[in-house]
A and B are shown apart, each in its own frame.
Chain A
């Protein structure tokens, strides 16, 4: 997904001279082709995230569309004030491409896990927060970013994730995608949790519990229309996110329902990471399971909710 996003960025840069790239201290050879062909718009600035965000803001004030890329934790925690003041207060079209969202860097431990990024960025006025589910959706997202006049945080998954998005569904920032129409239960998902939820639907179908998946690639702005349309049509709703249960997709869903559709609240359950730092290494999948996010647990939670 990361490779796809950077390739798309390079293509955008070829087409549009406002597009430029700023990395921190990324892997050897990243975007070498762009460095060779468009050196004046390729920057590798070192381990200096606070500076990078401010520099991107200055370039954006002058009409450029900077794409900033580094590890998700470092582009959110370390330079949060710069993101808030330099990008969001000025409402500038800077794109933050965040590698390793959620538990991707499981073997590297809690210093490298981005498990509260959606929560903290969602609180910032003018910020748009996006979590695509696969590389194909990433391509469609990147094409959408060019003339979007606000800052965007784009959380990347590991890469090589099963492609489930469909071209015919298109992609519009802030518009959820109905991946599988529901009858009894609806999973509201983001990122690669969409793939997990689609698998959980297969298990539940065997039990005659026909469930659907609403893919919320954009956490902010949240697609209120989609929620207003679909929630009343089902008996149970389970949100799923690779993120702390505090402040992310599930919280956004509850906040909206509390304000606008309080009668729906009783049918909602949330699956996300517990409020503690990861205490194991292993792989993204093994750590997800260890922390309670698995196809089986999704199916179990929905089953329990629908049979209540």
Chain B
């Protein structure tokens, strides 16, 4: 069962979806609790000073999950909540994929998959070179780690002993076309990351207590970077969207369907 905060954050997602009846809904709803716990309990940031040099950097490498990120950033006060109601409108700062130079709190423009992790390695190296203490968190999708670039970056992160870098994988088991295991299977995923030199933990990506208890232990190792494989449900919170590949991206949603979505959250 989702608690009130998880429902509220999903309601913010729906406020954006409602604008033009569109969005990557499933991939955002699997992410909510991961981002919620990171922003509520782990990351150091100043919403009124988004470029504060000592902030922790979070890169949403699966940029299509931006509805969840925008919900958290609005909730934390990086920008006005009213901006959510302009999602994807011509003059809005909030597009279908997040952009660094438009949205306060967005560290990298992502959307093309397999880019954010390499950028995170660069940021983590910069932090090491300057002997700074901030941390770098990269959140990827499961389909995203089909990309070879992810594994190039994994080798590099391990080589440079970037224990200030963590990669969270939103393992919702569904990519755009269908089940991850059918499209391009990832298993044995824990072994893969371990063999690349990462300290790996698995967690229920919707259990906020387990997520919290795990995240506060970061970094997991004195020299190794960390991987957190988050087992999640695509479309979590909307029973008709859960584990349903048709809800990867929706457009042209009608008022009736939007209402059904709100009903699920009891709003």
Where the two chains meet, the residues of A that have a C-beta atom closer than 8 Å to any C-beta of B are 20, 40-41, 43, 45-46, 48, 50-64, 81-82, 85-86, 89-91
Interface centre among B112, B118, B124 (most CB of A within 10 A): B118
Tell whether, in the assembled complex, residue B129 and residue A41 are in contact, meaning their CB atoms are under 8 Å apart: yes
What are 23 A-to-B residue pairs whose CB atoms are below 8 Å? Answer: A41-B129, A43-B125, A50-B114, A50-B148, A50-B152, A54-B115, A54-B118, A55-B119, A55-B125, A55-B153, A56-B122, A57-B108, A58-B124, A59-B125, A60-B122, A61-B100, A62-B127, A82-B115, A82-B118, A85-B111, A89-B99, A90-B100, A90-B101
Beyond A50-B149, A55-B125: 12 further Cβ-contacts under 8 Å? Answer: A46-B152, A53-B118, A55-B119, A55-B121, A55-B153, A58-B120, A58-B122, A61-B100, A61-B108, A63-B126, A85-B112, A86-B119
Separation in Å of the A208 CB from the closest CB of chain B? 57
CB neighbours (8 Å) of B180 from chain A are none
CB neighbours (8 Å) of A59 from chain B are 122-123, 125-126
CB neighbours (8 Å) of A89 from chain B are 99, 109
CB neighbours (8 Å) of A82 from chain B are 115, 118, 149
Given contacts A48-B156, A51-B153, A86-B115, contact A58 B123 (CB under 8 A): yes
Docked pose: A220 CA to B180 CA in angstroms: 43
CB neighbours (8 Å) of A91 from chain B are 101
CB-contact partner of A58 in B125, B148, B152, under 8 A: B125
CB neighbours (8 Å) of B203 from chain A are none
CB-contact partner of B129 in A40, A52, A54, A90, under 8 A: A40
CB neighbours (8 Å) of A51 from chain B are 118, 121, 149, 152-153, 155-156
Docked pose: A55 CA to B111 CA in angstroms: 17
Docked pose: A292 CA to B61 CA in angstroms: 47
Docked pose: A186 CA to B114 CA in angstroms: 47
Tell whether, in the assembled complex, residue A58 and residue B100 are in contact, meaning their CB atoms are under 8 Å apart: no
Separation in Å of the A39 CB from the closest CB of chain B? 10
Q: Which chain B residue lies CB-closest to A64?
A: B126
Docked pose: A64 CA to B125 CA in angstroms: 11
Interface size (B, Cβ < 8 Å)? Answer: 30
The 6 A-B pairs with the shortest beta carbon distances in the complex, nearest first, are A58-B122, A54-B118, A62-B126, A51-B152, A48-B152, A50-B149
Docked pose: A106 CA to B146 CA in angstroms: 35
Separation in Å of the B14 CB from the closest CB of chain A? 29
CB of B117 within 8 Å of the partner chain:
yes
* B residues 141-169 touching A (CB-CB < 8 Å): 148-149, 152-153, 155-156
Q: Which chain A residue lies CB-closest to B116?
A: A54
CB neighbours (8 Å) of B125 from chain A are 43, 55, 58-59
Docked pose: A90 CA to B119 CA in angstroms: 11
Given contacts A85-B109, A90-B109, contact A58 B119 (CB under 8 A): yes
Q: Which chain A residue lies CB-closest to B131?
A: A40
Separation in Å of the A242 CB from the closest CB of chain B? 30
Tell whether, in the assembled complex, residue A86 and residue B156 are in contact, meaning their CB atoms are under 8 Å apart: no
Per-residue CB contact flags for chain B residues 173-206 toward chain A (1 = under 8 Å, else 0) read: 0000000000000000000000000000000000
Tell whether, in the assembled complex, residue B123 and residue A86 are in contact, meaning their CB atoms are under 8 Å apart: no
Q: Which chain A residue lies CB-closest to B154?
A: A51
Separation in Å of the A124 CB from the closest CB of chain B? 14
CB neighbours (8 Å) of A90 from chain B are 100-101, 108-109
CB neighbours (8 Å) of B117 from chain A are 54
Interface centre among B109, B114, B122 (most CB of A within 10 A): B122
CB neighbours (8 Å) of B129 from chain A are 20, 40-41, 64
Tell whether, in the assembled complex, residue B156 and residue A45 are in contact, meaning their CB atoms are under 8 Å apart: yes
CB neighbours (8 Å) of B155 from chain A are 46, 48, 51
* B residues 73-121 touching A (CB-CB < 8 Å): 99-101, 107-109, 111-112, 114-121
Separation in Å of the B83 CB from the closest CB of chain A? 21
CB-contact partner of B121 in A58, A60, A64, A85, under 8 A: A58
Docked pose: A50 CA to B117 CA in angstroms: 11
Tell whether, in the assembled complex, residue B112 and residue A54 are in contact, meaning their CB atoms are under 8 Å apart: no
Given contacts A51-B156, A53-B118, A85-B112, contact A58 B149 (CB under 8 A): no
Docked pose: A90 CA to B259 CA in angstroms: 38
Tell whether, in the assembled complex, residue B122 and residue A57 are in contact, meaning their CB atoms are under 8 Å apart: yes
Docked pose: A51 CA to B114 CA in angstroms: 9
Separation in Å of the A223 CB from the closest CB of chain B? 28
Tell whether, in the assembled complex, residue A61 and residue B115 are in contact, meaning their CB atoms are under 8 Å apart: no
Separation in Å of the B31 CB from the closest CB of chain A? 21
Q: Which chain B residue lies CB-closest to A66?
A: B122
CB neighbours (8 Å) of B114 from chain A are 50
Tell whether, in the assembled complex, residue A54 and residue B121 are in contact, meaning their CB atoms are under 8 Å apart: yes
CB neighbours (8 Å) of A64 from chain B are 126, 129
CB neighbours (8 Å) of A52 from chain B are 118
Separation in Å of the B125 CB from the closest CB of chain A? 6
